[in-house]
Structure 1
């Protein structure tokens, strides 16, 4: 069977969007290192080693190394005087070494219930067994070994996620058309991967938990879906859901866009493959150790409103006592999240829907037919809504959003504003932990914590609004690189040295 149009290689000589020329923030920042493009620069550059891919991966590894240094003081365990909070180096990985009985050689689910989906539990258990056995052989504490093993593997996962995002944006193929002339009509954007490699939150959250493992599994779903490989896309989607449930939220946008195109078969193949993969991973654990397997689902329904969520901020500002009731918040969350998903579904299905008599006008003004909302835009909105209305919003959940935000809206300006808000919340969170754990007088005031948590909430909400605005106005979408609507009142600039136009004589 011949390959689909989306599997065909991009045409030679395809344009590459340089951030220093297409992104306002990157253009200004490039001035500190000589400007966007020098008069004597060679285009294309004569590179022997430092290709864009290697530059991006190198920057990512540098950020991971800084994360390793930032968490190192907590890697040995035995935290004294709340150093895990005062130094901001707390990591679940080190804490759960004892809490999940990995220090005793326990096997997750069989010997101890685990609060994570099965694939993450296996990930934890495999490295736990290696650390336990190494500690036994060398007669040393396996806890530091466990943390550093996890850090190394998670950094590899992070590098894989960066590499896959690079490939996604290098191809930048359209999935809303089968016309081979239009599949590669968007410019290549490989440098978008730098946003993930240099995301400030990577420094503090990369090894807080095992979320980078799930992110590394989720990213190939977008790559293979873009390349027209629905079964492979479903394989990685199923693996990602088996690691962290957030990837399950990708299925809704996938089906909405399939309904819009009236091409359900590929999306159904992806969904069915994902379901089979997830079931194959979960079925043995559910059958052999059912109660342990159910712990993840029970914990999510029983957990009260967590620190830093929108509900926590609302309760702190208004004093609404009903928000102490976990069941009430569960019901309210489900209603709001369902309403948000319905709104996103309507946006994905109807935004920029064309009537036949509008097509000629769109082609005439240069817009073409590249107006269908992109899958990553809708996926970002759904995951963001899940966090904005959810009752649990752990600090490392930002790692779910970062690659989706880059795929949805690769613009540095507000991305960095949002990242600063996340860093502010990270610092405030440990100030809050110190307040509730240590003696009176330590930590930060409650009002300051509510401000930081509220700023994070608002930053994510604004990012959603910006993505929605670009869905409604595709010319604003940097990924499409569509021409702006010409201003009839504007006069094109004259060539240097040319005389002005001769004024017309009055009638």
Structure 2
């Protein structure tokens, strides 16, 4: 481990061979992560506890303490009832979707690996609080692993991840940490492959090998929450264009590596098939039901999207016109934003730079979060590591996090008000709109800004050989 860390920093513009500095960064960031995870656990656990209904649902759910500053709502506890998780039914195999759009028989509306984690979290649990506790134990190691990888790749910039509110708000809100871990691990795999071996001075892995390993990790992420699968295309283009290390012969463009790009795409496809195939064979109806559920989902008040808080006012409410427009515009604009991000990255390459695969990935994610009909608050955990890995100005990150905090502190209170029929509070509706629209403006900016932003140090310099030192010049005696 120590040899690897030294290697990552020895061959770059920054010398980072002092192990003490890395130990300090890791210690501080891990302690802060543990502190925020413990805080987040306490906040969310407040929604559970005695007394319980016969199905194990706490009487305190879903409000908990209505006067708490941070709402206790968590999707982890919500999923305990209604998906047969409380009945310990293995997911997807026996279920389906009814005519009313409700899932049954163990089917959950998530990709198969997330459903499998939920089933594991329910083992031995008889109440929603126990399910939450078991799930938190499964999720916490992923949060710590993300911190370690980001600390090694970006040094003190890891604090944007380890010392900001999203860990408290969302670490135990839903099953985001595993999928975020796969994305960061893919970046770490690319960095490790590019690092120079101390004995040979050459890359540890070829670019093809690094790309294939990273694509497998992204494919696993796709089987957790879909979005990492989008990143395979920019990664394949990066391998296609031979990264930033291919020689240029007589001023010609770099020869494109079509074989390597195909291998990257094929590795991701094979991984997805291998993960999905057992569920498709053993319970095709249940596996398909999860996809059908997402396809039928509408942009309602609980989706926090620009569609509900914007387009709805132009169509006179959630009528047929509204639903039809969202159904058409959302996928079209998502695909258009993907195409724009890929084009912007290609333009960087055509102008003589390396294809900015990570910046393009981040821009694609920004487009997806902006135009998708569902924009859950916990998606902030998706984009936050990309703020850490890419050189986004601190003011943009702070504005995004403030808007996110405003949204989280108000949207779950809004749900309670709508459920109870109580009068709406101006600051609740105002806080939700502030969060939604500031996010929207920033995501538009980030579609362009991510592609232009380079990677942070020392990630940006991994694999770059230091320039040869110039020999000391001999002083010339002054004329007499």
Give the TM-score taking structure 2 as reference length. Answer: 0.76
2:369 counterpart of 1:387: yes
SS at match of 1:121: helix
Q: CA deviation at 1:338?
A: 1.8
Change (3 A) 1:428 1:306: same
| Rounded Cα–Cα distance in structure 1 between residues aligned with 2:6 and 2:458 | 23
2:177 counterpart of 1:162: no
| Rounded Cα–Cα distance in structure 1 between residues aligned with 2:183 and 2:39 | 24
Mind listing any 5+ residue stretches in structure 1 that lack a counterpart? 1-5, 19-42, 132-140, 170-188, 355-368, 482-507
Query: In the alignment, what sits opposite 1:282?
Result: 276
| Rounded Cα–Cα distance in structure 1 between residues aligned with 2:45 and 2:321 | 36
Deviates more, 1:451-460 or 1:58-67: 451-460
2:336 counterpart of 1:339: yes
2:411 counterpart of 1:413: no
| Rounded Cα–Cα distance in structure 1 between residues aligned with 2:432 and 2:8 | 49
Query: In the alignment, what sits opposite 1:178?
Result: none
Query: In the alignment, what sits opposite 1:295?
Result: 289
Instruction: Please list the CA deviations of residues 132-153 of structure 1 after superposition, one character each: whole Å capped at 9, or x if unmatched.
Output: xxxxxxxxx4332211111122
| Rounded Cα–Cα distance in structure 2 between residues aligned with 1:13 and 1:299 | 50
Query: In the alignment, what sits opposite 1:201?
Result: 166
Does the Cα contact within 8 Å between 2:211 and 2:235 map onto a contact in 1? no
Change (3 A) 1:352 1:73: same
Q: CA deviation at 1:405?
A: 2.5
2:405 counterpart of 1:423: yes
Query: In the alignment, what sits opposite 2:443?
Result: 460
Does the Cα contact within 8 Å between 1:303 and 1:326 map onto a contact in 2? no
Query: In the alignment, what sits opposite 1:127?
Result: 121
Change (3 A) 1:478 1:162: closer
Q: CA deviation at 1:162?
A: 1.6
Instruction: Please list the CA deviations of residues 392-415 of structure 1 after superposition, one character each: whole Å capped at 9, or x if unmatched.
Output: 111111111111232223543321
After TM superposition, list the pairs within 5 Å mapping 1:35-434 onto structure 2: 50-76=23-49, 77-79=58-60, 82-83=63-64, 87=68, 88-110=71-93, 111-131=105-125, 141-167=126-152, 169=153, 189-226=154-191, 227=193, 228=207, 229-261=210-242, 262-307=256-301, 308-319=304-315, 325-351=322-348, 353-354=350-351, 371-409=353-391, 411-434=393-416
| Rounded Cα–Cα distance in structure 2 between residues aligned with 1:13 and 1:327 | 55
Q: CA deviation at 1:389?
A: 0.7
Deviates more, 1:374-383 or 1:255-264: 255-264
Q: CA deviation at 1:478?
A: 9.8
| Rounded Cα–Cα distance in structure 1 between residues aligned with 2:87 and 2:9 | 57
Give the TM-score taking structure 1 as reference length. Answer: 0.72
Does the Cα contact within 8 Å between 2:146 and 2:184 map onto a contact in 1? yes
| Rounded Cα–Cα distance in structure 2 between residues aligned with 1:81 and 1:342 | 41
Does the Cα contact within 8 Å between 2:367 and 2:443 map onto a contact in 1? no
Instruction: Please list the CA deviations of residues 261-300 of structure 1 after superposition, one character each: whole Å capped at 9, or x if unmatched.
Output: 4223334323222222211111111111111111221122
| Rounded Cα–Cα distance in structure 2 between residues aligned with 1:103 and 1:153 | 17
| Rounded Cα–Cα distance in structure 2 between residues aligned with 1:235 and 1:45 | 31
Query: In the alignment, what sits opposite 2:97?
Result: none
| Rounded Cα–Cα distance in structure 1 between residues aligned with 2:8 and 2:409 | 44
Q: CA deviation at 1:256?
A: 3.1
| Rounded Cα–Cα distance in structure 1 between residues aligned with 2:308 and 2:371 | 11
Q: CA deviation at 1:44?
A: 6.1
Instruction: Please list the CA deviations of residues 135-184 of structure 1 after superposition, one character each: whole Å capped at 9, or x if unmatched.
Output: xxxxxx433221111112211111111212233x2xxxxxxxxxxxxxxx
Aligned length: 404
Pairwise CA RMSD: 3.1
Instruction: Please list the CA deviations of residues 23-50 of structure 1 after superposition, one character each: whole Å capped at 9, or x if unmatched.
Output: xxxxxxxxxxxxxxxxxxxx96967x95
Q: CA deviation at 1:462?
A: 3.2
Does the Cα contact within 8 Å between 2:46 and 2:72 map onto a contact in 1? yes
| Rounded Cα–Cα distance in structure 1 between residues aligned with 2:401 and 2:445 | 13
Change (3 A) 1:424 1:288: same
Q: CA deviation at 1:126?
A: 1.4
Q: CA deviation at 1:63?
A: 1.3
Change (3 A) 1:8 1:46: closer
Q: With CA pairs under 8 Å and 6+ residues apart, which has the higher RCO, 1 or 2?
A: 2
Q: CA deviation at 1:225?
A: 2.5
Q: CA deviation at 1:442?
A: 4.9
Does the Cα contact within 8 Å between 2:215 and 2:235 map onto a contact in 1? no
Does the Cα contact within 8 Å between 2:366 and 2:447 map onto a contact in 1? yes
